[in-house]
Amino acid sequence: MYVVSVADVLYGYVSKNTEITINGWIRTKRNSKAKISFLDLYDGSCLASLQIIANHNLHNYSNEISRVTSGCSVTIIGTIIESLGTKQHVEVIAKNITILGWIENPSTYPITAKHHTMQYLREVSHLRPRTNIIGIISRVRDTLSHAIHKFMNKHKFIWIPTPIITSSDTEGIGKMFCVSTEKTKKNINCSKNEEKIKKYCPYDFFGKEAFLTVSGQLNAEAYACALSKVYTFGPTFRAEYSNTNRHLAEFWMVEPEAAFVNLNEIIILAESFLKNVIKTILEKCSDDLKYIANHIDSDIISRLENFINTSFIHIEYTEAINLLKKSHKKFKNSIYWGSDLFSEHEKYLSEKYFNAPVVIKNYPKKIKAFYMRLNKDNKTVASMDILVPGIGEIIGGSQREERLSNLDERLRENNLTQENYWWYRDLRRYGTVPHSGFGLGLERLILYITGVKNIRDVIPFPRSTKNINF
Amino acid sequence: MYVVSVADVLYGYVSKNTEITINGWIRTKRNSKAKISFLDLYDGSCLASLQIIANHNLHNYSNEISRVTSGCSVTIIGTIIESLGTKQHVEVIAKNITILGWIENPSTYPITAKHHTMQYLREVSHLRPRTNIIGIISRVRDTLSHAIHKFMNKHKFIWIPTPIITSSDTEGIGKMFCVSTEKTKKNINCSKNEEKIKKYCPYDFFGKEAFLTVSGQLNAEAYACALSKVYTFGPTFRAEYSNTNRHLAEFWMVEPEAAFVNLNEIIILAESFLKNVIKTILEKCSDDLKYIANHIDSDIISRLENFINTSFIHIEYTEAINLLKKSHKKFKNSIYWGSDLFSEHEKYLSEKYFNAPVVIKNYPKKIKAFYMRLNKDNKTVASMDILVPGIGEIIGGSQREERLSNLDERLRENNLTQENYWWYRDLRRYGTVPHSGFGLGLERLILYITGVKNIRDVIPFPRSTKNINF
């Protein structure tokens, strides 16, 4: 006898009139007058649930099956039959139903069949995967992650696990978590007091200050300067106190890095990458997307289809500033050549002005990281941000500064020491090559794909300030 | 004109007599008497390098090409021709060679073409991917990771990113890194002083003690109890002070978790999983394995082939103890029913006695974690370890305790509080199901596959006590 999943039955991988064993949880139960119960069974294998017909002549009908509530776990032996109802093609007529797990006090079960707000569900993050919406997000996230690995593999990028615990600060912007094992009262890490660090660090696990990485890029560059094309796909960390619906303290990034590739080529790769993975979601998650269209965001499918069929707009930073000035809109953050672009500006450009994904290129060096390649104008660097409507920045990337003297100049300008970057400098001293890369925030892409509004709903157990439950 | 990789040319994806552009680094250079230079070019796309013929009539032959040393980066325009030599089928006759990056002071370049010890290479972890052996390990690791994702995907496991920063201790064994942002002199984390924690934690980023995860299992269980089959694939951490060649402070784990699956079924999955991914390595990394067979471990290929063709030995813990007693060998750690199995015991069983992968099942509850399912004998738990010759334990797993009262009893026995595990207990209060899972240490599997002896050589930037460079 087959042990099968709900998807196996509903998608026709098992033929009608087959006797099967199937496990899962009850989504809802409905009793007919004719002493028949209809149980909707789900097991996470797909969005839809499978209707189980439980006749009153089952031996445990009155003392068990009739008491089943939403959330109970069961094993069912039964036969797949053509459905008489209109909601589904097939259903299962049960020969035996074993209750594996009951719901302790059903009236207080946190996940009933009724609608719950996303905010409420976050408080029961351990149970929320039992809901339709978190099930959908989980399947989309899984499909997306596989599509990412597949795209990179097809394009001959080698996956590199860059270190999570690090002694260097890629972005040079701080906001890092400290890592320590020292169990004394003296806080040896994260201290601004240089004397204290010198005194106690030797006794800590790593013998020096240790942080959680904000990006695997610098390490990935070392591998790109040997294997040509590499990528990272792993967790990264920012100790950001801002409590917005777009920020997490712990999130996943994809960071390809390619030798012999310039800024324009990496932009082409990024565009083709985004379109490819979204195309995969449209193909493989159509039921999940239909549910989203019906319940959350009616435009979702046409928006994703538009995305893969529209060419990205490419503009220079200087042009972006001019467009923003000409808009005569009142922005909270003032706009001038040299100013950073904030969320309000990005929204205006990608949502109002172009209503399309926009690539902004060649930002002023003063607002960008030290590793970006200086352009001939001596004022801008070969950088790019990709903005998408509704989300804002989804990808940031650049051509890297491969010329040692320019890199040293940029380190100096940023008050960073050559000593701390000795190995990164080595990559420029020995067989240096032009190379480029970008970083994609995975959760932001999932927000775009699912239409979900809060980033804490697209990662199973979100981490942010004051939030480390589960 | 095509921009192609070394693999494209050597594996025949581009036909002979095609004019190509190719980028890479020089492995070695050899001058013939006839004023021709032979450059061996590599780019990480495969193990082999491509021979480039540089004739003295190239415009920069005497002032540049003749000065090229190992490690220089170049762009070559040339034509693929049939090779006159015996080492390769094809080679490229250069029309133009541009030197992109020189080696600063070639006599002190850390990665010359000569042989280096693995220990020395660890000191230049940023440059070691330029060597054959680290290139091989990188490609094997990449192929293995994709094979793992593919296996899980084929078996309908959904990939779940479980949190890295956590407030709970899965194994209940300590050895965790603390995470903090607090920049004062007071160490609020990792303190044994409860008063101190209460006083200062509210000001830290998460408002309570935070650690780096040792396993994603408990979180994965929450998802398995909703989506049936899930897996994690991510970094995990142990603050182990032991400086062995089998331990890392930061390593990658694969942790599948499946609902409605018992101990024997999860062992079958683990065996089929290991064989499947090793089969993929044999198929896809044959050149890399041949190099290993020639230079590091001559038995590697036959050992892997044996592995996929041999059934794992299954024995009970009690039987393992009896075999060890009967061996009359002097072990450092004494053996009695109830004692843990140490590396020396595992070696004896898998290497001497069986000379095959061994699954040991049903360990005494006292030496195993609280979450493992109590067997009917009330003394053992439904646990399993898989040992492989040469490596020792590579997989550890168990059926989980799904019965609330038993779980509570085990928490009590381990001095763990119900409060700290409230959400984990909820999984047993609401629709509990039998479920099982295991954890695979990725780096240990790579050791087994590559025959490399030290675990620090199979992860790009290894982390261990006093070791956080790069």
Mean pLDDT of all residues in chain B? Answer: 93
Q: What is the mean pLDDT of residues A298-305?
A: 96
Of the candidates A284, A147, A251, the residue with the CA atom closest to the CA atom of residue B161: A251
From the list B219, B228, B463, the residue facing A460 with the nearest CB is: B219
Of the candidates A47, A56, A41, the residue with the CA atom closest to the CA atom of residue A91: A41
Residue A114: count of CB within 10 angstroms of its CB: 6
Chain B contact set for A192 (CB, 8 A): 183
Instruction: Tell how strand B158-159 and strand B435-441 pair up.
Output: unpaired
pLDDT of amino acid B112: 84
Alpha-carbon gap: B72 to the closest alpha carbon of chain A (Å): 4
Matching residue, tokens 């053509």: A82
Chain B contact set for A75 (CB, 8 A): 260
Chain B contact set for A228 (CB, 8 A): 5, 23-24, 43-45
Chain A contact set for B187 (CB, 8 A): 180, 182, 184-188
* CA dist., res. B149 & res. B130, Å (int): 27
A191 touches B at CB < 8 Å: yes
Q: In the sheet where B250-259 sits, what is the strand order? A: B158-159, B229-237, B250-259, B435-441, B392-399, B383-388, B358-361, B313-316
Least confident of A252-261, A359-368, B187-196: B187-196
Taking an 8 Å cut-off on Cβ atoms, the answer to whether A235 and B235 are in contact is: yes
A404-413 helix and A422-429 helix, angle to the nearest 10 degrees: 150
pLDDT of amino acid B337: 97
Matching residue, tokens 């493992």: B372
pLDDT of amino acid B202: 63
* CA dist., res. B327 & res. B353, Å (int): 9
Residue of B26, B187, B408, B426 to mutate, testing the A interface (most A Cβ within 10 Å of its Cβ):
B187
Matching residue, tokens 């930037």: B461
* CA dist., res. A66 & res. A61, Å (int): 6
C-alpha torsion B69→B74→B79→B80, nearest 10: 70
Sequence-distant (≥ 6) Cβ neighbours of residue A121 within 8 angstroms: A128, A131, A133, A134, A457
Burial of A314 (0-12, 13-18, 19+ CB in 10 A): middle
Q: What is the 3-state secondary structure (H, E, C) of chain B?
A: CEEECHHHHHCCCCCCCCEEEEEEEEEEEEECCCCEEEEEEECCCCCCCEEEEEECCCCCCCCCHHHCCCCCEEEEEEEEEECCCCCCCEEEEEEEEEEEECECCHHHCCCCCCCCCHHHHHHCCCCHHHCHHHHHHHHHHHHHHHHHHHHHHHCCCEECCCCCEECCCCCCCCCCCEEECCCCCECCCCCCCHHHHHHHHHHCCCCCCCEECCCCHHHHHHHHHHHCEEEEEEEEECCCCCCCCCCCCEEEEEEEEEECCCHHHHHHHHHHHHHHHHHHHHHHCHHHHHHHHHHCCCCHHHHHHHHHHCCCEEEEHHHHHHHHHHCCCCCCCCCCCCCCCCHHHHHHHHHHHCCCCEEEECCEHHHCCCCECECCCCCEECEEEEEECCCEEEEEEEEECCCHHHHHHHHHHCCCCCHHHHHHHHHHHECCCCEEEEEEEHHHHHHHHHCCCCHHHCCCCCCECCECCC
B285 touches A at CB < 8 Å: no
Residues of A (427-456) whose Cβ lies below 8 Å from B: 427-434
Taking an 8 Å cut-off on Cβ atoms, the answer to whether B222 and A126 are in contact is: yes
Chain A contact set for B196 (CB, 8 A): 185
- Global ipTM: 0.95
* CA dist., res. A384 & res. A380, Å (int): 11
* CA dist., res. A372 & res. A221, Å (int): 12
A243 touches B at CB < 8 Å: no
A265 touches B at CB < 8 Å: no
Least confident of A234-248, A296-310, B40-54, B382-396: A234-248
- pLDDT tens for A124-181 read 999 999 999 999 999 999 999 999 999 999 999 999 999 999 987 666 666 889 898 8
A393 touches B at CB < 8 Å: no
A407 touches B at CB < 8 Å: no
pLDDT of amino acid B187: 47
DSSP A455: G
A73 touches B at CB < 8 Å: yes
pLDDT of amino acid B188: 43
**Residue A96 structure tokens:** 């035996």
Residues of A (295-334) whose Cβ lies below 8 Å from B: none
Alpha-carbon gap: A24 to the closest alpha carbon of chain B (Å): 8
Give the number of beta-carbon pairs within 8 Å between A and B.
Answer: 334
From the list A142, A187, A424, the residue facing B158 with the nearest CB is: A142
Task: Tell me the pLDDT band of A381, cut-offs 50, 70 and 90.
Answer: very high
Q: What is the mean pLDDT of residues A24-28?
A: 96
Alpha-carbon gap: B286 to the closest alpha carbon of chain A (Å): 17
pLDDT of amino acid A188: 43
CB of B397 within 8 A of CB of B266? yes
B132 touches A at CB < 8 Å: no
Alpha-carbon gap: A321 to the closest alpha carbon of chain B (Å): 35
- pLDDT tens for A444-453 read 999 999 999 9
Chain B contact set for A424 (CB, 8 A): 126
Sequence-distant (≥ 6) Cβ neighbours of residue B93 within 8 angstroms: B52, B53, B55, B78, B79, B81
C-alpha torsion A247→A251→A252→A255, nearest 10: 60
Taking an 8 Å cut-off on Cβ atoms, the answer to whether A252 and B427 are in contact is: no
pLDDT of amino acid B186: 44
Taking an 8 Å cut-off on Cβ atoms, the answer to whether B145 and A159 are in contact is: yes
Taking an 8 Å cut-off on Cβ atoms, the answer to whether B430 and A111 are in contact is: yes
Q: Minimal Cα distance from B139: which residue of A?
A: A158
Taking an 8 Å cut-off on Cβ atoms, the answer to whether B163 and A470 are in contact is: yes
C-alpha torsion A118→A123→A124→A129, nearest 10: 30
A222 touches B at CB < 8 Å: yes
CB of B293 within 8 A of CB of B47? no
From the list A23, A109, A196, the residue facing B260 with the nearest CB is: A23
Alpha-carbon gap: B354 to the closest alpha carbon of chain A (Å): 34
Chain A contact set for B127 (CB, 8 A): 222, 226, 426, 430
**Residue A165 structure tokens:** 């615990």
Taking an 8 Å cut-off on Cβ atoms, the answer to whether B146 and A159 are in contact is: yes
Q: What is the mean pLDDT of each run of 10 residues along chain B (470 residues)?
A: 91 94 96 90 96 96 94 98 87 98 95 89 97 97 98 97 87 77 51 54 80 95 98 95 88 98 98 98 97 95 96 97 94 96 95 96 97 98 96 95 98 93 97 98 97 96 92
- pLDDT tens for A337-353 read 999 999 999 999 999 99
Taking an 8 Å cut-off on Cβ atoms, the answer to whether B463 and A165 are in contact is: yes
Q: What is the mean pLDDT of residues A390-418?
A: 95
pTM passes above 0.90: yes
* CA dist., res. B352 & res. A141, Å (int): 45
Residue B378: count of CB within 10 angstroms of its CB: 8
* CA dist., res. A149 & res. A153, Å (int): 6
* CA dist., res. A347 & res. A387, Å (int): 8
**Residue A68 structure tokens:** 């089943």
Position with higher pLDDT, B286 vs A200: B286
